[in-house]
Amino acid sequence: MTTHLTETELQGLADGTLRGPEGMDAREHCEACPECATELSSYTALSTRLSALRDPQPPPDFTAAVLAAVEVREVHLRQRRHTLIAALPAAAMAIFAILGWTFSIGPAAHIDSLVEGVTVLRHLMGVLGPVFEAARLPLGLGAFVFLAVVLKALSRTLRPVERVTAHG
Ligand SMILES: [Zn+2]
């Protein structure tokens, strides 16, 4: 009496991958040994049931949905890149303008222009004082709203793409 079949041999017999002399020997053993025959039958049943299982069918619009999601993501990435590309030169130009104004005029001229500006502003204030006074609150609110809008746009631009696609 040979030793009992191993699990691998039983599985090979069940799914038909154990062939040749080894397969013959294993089959002969199973015919003589009730224990291994029982195990083989359970392996065979399992193997049959497994092969009866079919891959779940993807929904009909699966490919289209995936492609659409990829497209949306790419559009977001592109928009984000475009916004950054558009914002960077603007920011650079603003910085260059400020720096250029600061360095192109000498310190004295700088102060002169400041004083001039203040004088003009004072004249304006004298004339437009009441108007400016009345408009100060709306102006302040406007500036605040403008700042909020700019900050929001910036935060949306710099937000990770994953969250953007999750919401949209
Ligand atoms: Zn056996």
Contacts with 41 (C-beta within 8 Å, 6 or more apart), sequence order? none
3 Cα–ligand 1 center, Å: 6
d(CA 116, CA 47): 94
43 Cα–ligand 1 center, Å: 14
- Which alpha helices (DSSP H) does 105-160 contain, by range? 107-158
Read off the pLDDT of residues 117-155 as tens digits, 9 standing for 90 and up: 777 777 766 776 666 566 666 667 777 777 777 777 777
In the predicted structure, residue 166 carries a pLDDT above the cut 90: no
Q: Encoding tokens for residue 123?
A: 């004249």
- Which alpha helices (DSSP H) does 20-106 contain, by range? 20-32, 34-52, 62-104
Read off the pLDDT of residues 91-125 as tens digits, 9 standing for 90 and up: 777 777 777 766 665 556 666 666 777 777 777 66
- Tell me, rounded to whole angstroms, the distance of Cα 41 from its chain centroid: 50
Contacts with 72 (C-beta within 8 Å, 6 or more apart), sequence order? 165, 168
Q: Do 157 and 84 contact (CB within 8 A), yes or no? A: yes
- Tell me, rounded to whole angstroms, the distance of Cα 155 from its chain centroid: 16
Residue ranges per domain, the chain? 7-52, 62-103, 107-158
d(CA 158, CA 76): 12
49 Cα–ligand 1 center, Å: 24
In the predicted structure, residue 164 carries a pLDDT above the cut 70: no
37 Cα–ligand 1 center, Å: 7
Q: Do 45 and 15 contact (CB within 8 A), yes or no? A: no
127 Cα–ligand 1 center, Å: 111
17 Cα–ligand 1 center, Å: 19
128 Cα–ligand 1 center, Å: 108
24 Cα–ligand 1 center, Å: 14
Mean pLDDT across 146-166: 68
Write down how long the chain is.
168
Q: Encoding tokens for residue 34?
A: 């009730």
26 Cα–ligand 1 center, Å: 9
Q: Do 5 and 37 contact (CB within 8 A), yes or no? A: no
**How far, CA to CA in Å, does 55 sit from each of 51, 52, 60, 63, 128?**
10, 10, 14, 16, 79
In the predicted structure, residue 168 carries a pLDDT above the cut 50: no
50 Cα–ligand 1 center, Å: 24
Read off the pLDDT of residues 31-78 as tens digits, 9 standing for 90 and up: 999 999 999 999 999 888 888 877 777 777 888 888 888 888 888 888
Residue 92: how many CB atoms within 10 A of its CB?
A: 10
Stronger pLDDT, 124 or 27, i.e. the higher one: 27
